[in-house]
């Protein structure tokens, strides 16, 4: 019998997880039960995905580059990728700014709501943590992020998932040097990485078999830890603006897929849907990366020479959903707490700050909010009102994080596809027959 496609299995897992979570919030001790007995399944799944991220980047990037035969092609792919990433991020920020200025969600917020949100969240340890993380990042020198890309110890870089850019740097360097030595000498290493790459991609398939169960656990946990629905309601207009912007971004991607890659947008969405659903469930583009790579290579047909570079780099530096959210959130907070700061000059500064902030945001849950602090500080937002500002948006941050992460991953997959098309590396999908099935 033909089994249900993986994305449907995942959707069913998500819906059941939400229903189960709602049911458990009604039962005495239900939330604790979910945290103690259900959540670990989701945590294990995320750990498994993170476990293979470093070996996957290493193997696929080294294989991808050493397959190139000639480095100038890599320069072409690299330059185009960075330019398109910057372009889509600017589009996302501008969409966010236009919407938040036209729809003015900040106007609907009463003093009573501000007081309630301040009382509930301003003293929250997580908000203080985000502000202090932001100040660590801000104190760094302007070129620090370039310095940080260069590892001083390859093994140490590989031992920390936060150092993904260092692993990318090492892999590119090694791949290029493999092209520079005689083929006979690089052959054994190339074979080793080819084989490692195939094994890791198979590991992704195997891990994904657990995805429907894992998303059940992840969403049940999100539901039992969600905030009071009244608070969520007060922020509905703000959240609505972010969501509308994110949907418009999907439309931009679909246009790019149709016009540049000449593929059906619906077909494309179907191919990458398991990665999108996982991004939504995990709120982490880094954890989703192995699945994004597998889907884009095997199901969309992007050649590994392109995807192995474009996707890991995208997961770390290209966050269109996050930058759109940062623009909307920054202006929303200013509309409520500091309307006099909403000058045209400051809005231009927000474009630049959100662009840099999305590059600097880690691909993990909640990272966008840390960098939002920096965006607000860039425009001179009064420091004493920062905790109140974050308190305003904190309650809806998790659901918005889930959505913006989905957009971040969709953006990476779209750019990989159009870059591949532009260099003649978009081929036929290579789906293995048992890929999606148990």
**Contacting positions for ligand ASP (CB under 6 A):** 283-285, 319, 322, 361, 363-368, 401, 404-405, 408
Minimum separation from the CB atom of position 164 to ligand ASP (A): 12
Taking the complex as a whole, the smallest distance from the CB of residue 285 to ligand ASP amounts, in Å, to 4
Name which of 133 and 401 has its Cβ closer to ligand ASP: 401
| Cβ closest to ligand ASP, residue 404 vs residue 421 | 404
Place of tokens 């330019």: 83
Identify which of residues 203 and 329 has a Cβ nearer to ligand ASP in the complex.
Answer: 329
Nearest by Cα to 420 from 277, 262, 251:
262
Residue whose C-beta lies closest to ligand ASP: 368
Residues paired with residue 426 on neighbouring β-strands, in sequence order: 302
- The distance of closest approach from Cβ of residue 239 to ligand ASP in the complex, given in angstroms and rounded to an integer, is 14
> Token pair for residue 378?
């860039």
Residues 436, 3 contacting (CB under 8 angstroms)? yes
Q: Which of residues 96 and 368 has its CB atom nearest to ligand ASP in the complex?
A: 368
Nearer to ligand ASP, 9 or 88 (CB): 88
Task: Write the CA distances from 349 to 106, 319, 344, 380, 382, integer angstroms.
Answer: 20, 18, 9, 10, 16
Closest to 223 measured CA to CA, from 42, 9, 432: 42
Distance in Å, CB of 352 to ligand ASP, minimum: 18
Indicate the residue among 55 and 368 with the shorter CB distance to ligand ASP. Answer: 368
**Whole-number minimum distance, CB 427 to ligand ASP, in Å?**
28
- For the CA atoms of 32, 38, 40, 42, what is the dihedral angle to 10 degrees? -130
As a whole number of angstroms, the distance between CA 386 and CA 336 comes to 12
Cβ 275 to ligand ASP shortest distance, Å: 12
Minimum distance from residue 133 beta carbon to ligand ASP (Å): 12
Residues 6 or more apart in contact with residue 256 via CB below 8 angstroms: 414, 418
CB of 182 to ligand ASP, least distance (A): 41
- How far apart CA 93 and CA 84 sit, in angstroms, is 14
Burial class (CB in 10 A: 0-12, 13-18, 19+), 35: middle
Kindly state the tokens that stand for 280: 């939504």
Closer residue to ligand ASP (CB): 204 or 363? 363
Shortest distance (Å) from residue 330 CB to ligand ASP: 13
Which C-beta is closer to ligand ASP: that of 366 or that of 399?
A: 366
What's the closest the beta carbon of residue 168 comes to ligand ASP, in angstroms?
A: 16
* Cβ contact 310:81 at 8 Å: yes
**In terms of CB distance, is 151 or 365 closer to ligand ASP?**
365
Tell me phi and psi for residue 309, to 5 degrees.
-95, -50
Give 20 or 45: the residue with its C-beta nearer to ligand ASP.
45
- Closest C-alpha to 417, from 61, 81, 68: 81
Backbone φ and ψ of 395, nearest 5°: -60, -35
Query: Could you write out the DSSP letters of every residue in 282-305?
Result: H--HHHHHHHHHHIIIIII-B-HH
Return phi, psi of residue 201, to 5°: -65, -35
3-class DSSP assignment, residue 387: helix
For residues 203 and 367, which CB has a smaller minimum distance to ligand ASP in the complex? 367
Nearest residue to 414 (alpha-carbon basis) of 275, 305, 290: 275
Residue 385: how many CB atoms within 10 A of its CB? 19
Shortest spacing between CB 210 and ligand ASP, in angstroms: 20
């Amino acid at each position: 019998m033909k089994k249900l496609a993986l994305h449907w299995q995942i959707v069913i897992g998500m819906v059941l997880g939400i229903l189960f979570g709602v049911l458990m919030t009604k039962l005495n001790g239900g939330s604790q039960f979910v945290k103690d007995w259900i959540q670990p399944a989701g945590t294990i799944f995320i750990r498994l995905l993170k476990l293979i991220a470093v070996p996957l980047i290493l193997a696929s990037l080294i294989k991808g580059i050493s397959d190139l035969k000639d480095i100038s092609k890599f320069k072409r792919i690299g330059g185009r990728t960075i330019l398109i990433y910057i372009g889509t991020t600017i589009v996302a920020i501008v969409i966010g700014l236009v919407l938040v200025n036209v729809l003015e969600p900040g106007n609907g917020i009463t003093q009573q709501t501000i007081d309630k949100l301040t009382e509930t969240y301003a003293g929250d340890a997580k908000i203080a943590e985000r502000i202090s993380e932001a100040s660590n990042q801000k104190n760094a020198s302007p070129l620090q992020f370039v310095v940080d890309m260069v590892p001083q110890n390859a093994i140490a870089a590989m031992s920390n998932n936060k150092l993904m850019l260092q692993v990318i740097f090492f892999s590119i360097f090694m791949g290029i040097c493999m092209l520079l030595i005689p083929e006979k000498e690089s052959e054994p290493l190339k074979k080793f990485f080819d084989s490692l790459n195939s094994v890791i991609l198979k590991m992704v398939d195997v891990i994904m078999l657990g995805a429907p169960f894992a998303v059940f656990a992840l969403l049940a946990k999100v539901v039992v830890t969600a905030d009071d629905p009244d608070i969520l309601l007060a922020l509905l207009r703000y959240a609505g603006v972010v969501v509308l912007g994110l949907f418009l971004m999907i439309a931009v991607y679909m246009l790019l897929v149709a016009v540049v890659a000449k593929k059906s947008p619906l077909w494309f969405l179907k191919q990458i849907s398991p990665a999108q659903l996982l991004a939504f469930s995990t709120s982490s583009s880094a954890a989703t990366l192995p699945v994004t790579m597998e889907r884009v290579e095997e199901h969309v047909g992007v050649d590994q020479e392109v995807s192995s570079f474009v996707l890991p780099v995208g997961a770390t530096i290209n966050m269109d959903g996050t930058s759109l959210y940062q623009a909307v959130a920054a202006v929303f907070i200013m509309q409520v707490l500091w309307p006099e700061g909403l000058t045209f000059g400051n809005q231009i500064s927000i474009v630049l700050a959100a662009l840099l902030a999305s590059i600097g945001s880690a691909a993990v849950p909640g990272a966008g909010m840390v960098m939002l602090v920096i965006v607000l500080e860039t425009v001179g937002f009064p420091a004493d009102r920062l905790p109140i500002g974050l308190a305003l948006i904190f309650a809806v941050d998790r659901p918005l994080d889930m959505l913006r992460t989905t957009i971040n991953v969709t953006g990476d997959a779209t750019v990989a596809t159009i870059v591949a098309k532009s260099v003649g590396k978009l081929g036929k999908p290579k789906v293995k027959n048992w890929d999606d099935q148990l």
